[in-house]
Structure 1
Amino acid sequence: MYVTEFLARADSFIGPYTTHTLAFFGAATVVVCALKFLNAFLSLFILSGTNLRKYGPKGSWTVITGASDGIGKEFALQLAAKGFNIVLVSRTASKLAALATEIENKYPGIKTKTLAMDFSKDSAEDYKRLAEVVDGLDVAILVNNVGKSHDMPVSFLETAESEMEDIITINVKGTLKVTRAVAPGMVERKRGLILTMGSFGGFLPTPLLATYSGSKAFLQHWSTALGAELKPHGVHTQLVIGYLITSAMSKVRKSSMMIPTPKQFVKATLSKINLKGTAGGMVGTITPFWSHGVMHWAIQELLGVWNGIVLGQNYGMHANIRKRALRKKEREAKKA
């Protein structure tokens, strides 16, 4: 009744054709939003992603960087449980050896290889050794997990040069060089999956984490572009976006509805491969954990990634985190 009356009055002011055109576009907008919401809901809560066997048979290999702790360790354990042999790459040899032993004891028949390398060194010799390790292996999956963030939120102008260099060297150069070592074999075999860990810090411009945010935004564009190049060869890429996860990097210890454990996050990731609906329809991207996916959809569809309010809230949140971190640092200094 009210809609009919409104349209009748509108006709008298702007004409029936204009009114009907506006009504059509309004209805179309509502339908598109509803379809996007339905796609997100189905992708996050109902649908299953691509079966990992598409990328390699049982006994093929997975290469995981940053493998000794947190998310990387969980990828190793869960992919081993699915029948993949594992190449573990990380900085600390003792942790790698312990994890390799754990995997082989827990999953008889699964093979492991380890390579200790410090990605911050950007050593040509290390990358040569990596190429030698994977040479001849049927690598089905690459997990680009190695990464570094700031020790605490800090303005760009106050960021230590060493920290800035490490973030770019590890997050960007390390990911690119590992991929160049592994991807050619995938192209030759015409199958493979490359998972690269992204972040809400790359999805959203993040003040006080500017260098880290920029490095993850780079990976977003690089991974998507790489995916278009490799898709004709049967190789898929996925940029995996996560919000906070309990880990050494996030410094969050307690899980919640919004903060999954590495085990929960990795399980979600491996079950949502190629479901771009989890990430608001972004090609080659998944935001696999359900609460992160809901937040991604809401920001993208209702507010906008480049919205000033979102940017301001993001800045305020990290400013508060910095204040708490500085107070903690002061307390620890007094105790010392």
Structure 2
Amino acid sequence: MDINTVLEKIPPALIPVVIYFPFTIGLFAITNFFIKYTRLLLDLFVLPGTNLRRYGKKGTWAVITGASDGLGKEYAIQLAQKGFNLLLVSRTASKLETLSTDIKQKHGGSNIDVKILAMDFSKNEEGDYAKLKALVDGLDVGILVNNVGQSHSIPVPFIQTPKEEMRDIIAINCIATLRVTQIVAPGMVQRKRGLILTMGSFGGWLPTPLLATYSGSKAFLQQWSTSLGGELAGTGVDVELCLSYLVTTAMSKVRKTSMLIPSPRNFVKAVLGKIGRSGGAQNMAYTSTPFAGHALMQWWLENTIGIGSAFVVKKNKDMHEGIRKRALRKAEREAKKA
């Protein structure tokens, strides 16, 4: 059947619709694509984030969990440089003491007050949370950085995951984040200002075989943080989940930086400079992907291949199977040397 025969069977009034509707839809899709991409570039390279002074004057406190190493340490240093007093919470007291001294001498000056609390979140002990609450209740906290986290020692199939590792990941990534936020957030709501910044992960955004428990824990934080953001909207308390791909930290076990893998310093600088900007996370409320390399990767994946597809899950699985094989071979070599 040729096109003329088809058109003869269509009422004349509908012919323009039949001819131009597909063109209109295509034009709309292309226009929307470029509008979203322009918004991404503006977020990453032009528009500033929220001024952190919105969350308190000089001397306001920032609470940082997982503060002794990696991203937590860098958040502490950069927030001190911006004039925030610090309550640093992490497992190892000696590292916290060293960081506190370093911040006072090199980064914040004598005007910065630093308190520390050694706390192992994997233990989930009531006494530790009581000590944290006692400290927080006397402070004007303007920023909470939920940074503490744990992944698997190496990629591992779920059915082979050690029960202790599985328990610790949930206790640290999920329970600790919820309990600390319940301690800090009420004061923020009462003062009508504050920022609750929680570290998410591409592992929670993309289903990640061989990191199933970690991936699920970070996906949980995504949904929880977005829900909390909706609850606290209008209170003056901002909620943001920050997504990241790899950063050169002990958790990632990556040492060399690249366009896609920043140092903790550059990553945290991007986060604190883009609060309130979605970056690559345009389709997720109360969420940001502020580092440019991560954001561009996320945006193109979402708008071309799509996430959660069988293809993406398979590629993720293949990558982590390779990482696991290399880690096991390395452990075997080291065992022979011992």
Smaller-chain TM-score bracket = over 0.9
**1:313 match:** 315
Q: Is the 8 A contact 1:279 1:293 kept in 2?
A: yes
Aligned residues: 330
Q: Does 2:248 match 1:216?
A: no
Q: Does 2:167 match 1:150?
A: no
Q: CA deviation at 1:21?
A: 1.2
TM-score, normalized by length of structure 1? Answer: 0.95
3-state SS in 2 of match to 1:324: helix
**1:132 is aligned with what amino acid?**
A
User: Which aligned pairs between 1:256-335 and structure 2 lie closer than 5 A?
Assistant: 256-335=258-337
Q: Is the 8 A contact 2:278 2:290 kept in 1?
A: no
CA distance in 2, matches of 1:219, 1:266: 19
* CA gap 1:334/1:13 in 2 versus in 1, 3 angstroms: farther
**1:250 is aligned with what amino acid?**
S
**1:50 match:** 50
* CA gap 1:323/1:11 in 2 versus in 1, 3 angstroms: farther
**1:102 match:** 102
CA distance in 1, matches of 2:180, 2:22: 52
CA distance in 2, matches of 1:165, 1:209: 14
Q: Does 2:29 match 1:41?
A: no
Structure 1 residue ranges, 4+ long, deviating more than 2 angstroms after superposition = 7-16
TM-score, normalized by length of structure 2? Answer: 0.95
Q: CA deviation at 1:277?
A: 3.5
**1:248 match:** 250
Q: Is the 8 A contact 2:225 2:240 kept in 1?
A: yes
Q: CA deviation at 1:78?
A: 0.2
Q: Is the 8 A contact 1:280 1:300 kept in 2?
A: no
3-state SS in 2 of match to 1:233: coil
**2:89 match:** 89
Question: Alignment partner for residue 231 of structure 1, among 230, 233, 242?
Answer: 233
Q: Which has the higher contact order (CA 8 A, sep 6+)?
A: 1
CA distance in 2, matches of 1:254, 1:66: 22
CA distance in 2, matches of 1:9, 1:148: 66
Q: CA deviation at 1:52?
A: 0.4
Q: Is the 8 A contact 1:88 1:115 kept in 2?
A: yes
**1:77 match:** 77
* CA gap 1:272/1:24 in 2 versus in 1, 3 angstroms: same
Structure 2 unaligned residues grouped into runs of 5+: none
**1:184 is aligned with what amino acid?**
P
3-state SS in 2 of match to 1:166: helix
Q: Is the 8 A contact 1:10 1:19 kept in 2?
A: no
CA distance in 2, matches of 1:318, 1:151: 12
CA distance in 2, matches of 1:184, 1:17: 56
3-state SS in 2 of match to 1:195: strand
Q: CA deviation at 1:281?
A: 3.8
CA distance in 1, matches of 2:73, 2:185: 22
Query: CA offsets, 1:133-174, max 9 Å, x none?
Result: 111211000000000000000010000000000000000000
**1:3 match:** none
RMSD: 1.6
Query: CA offsets, 1:160-189, max 9 Å, x none?
Result: 000000000000000000000000000000
**2:315 is aligned with what amino acid?**
Q
* CA gap 1:254/1:277 in 2 versus in 1, 3 angstroms: closer
**Taking every aligned residue pair, what percent have the same amino acid on both sides?**
58
**2:203 is aligned with what amino acid?**
G
**2:75 is aligned with what amino acid?**
F
Q: CA deviation at 1:11?
A: 6.5
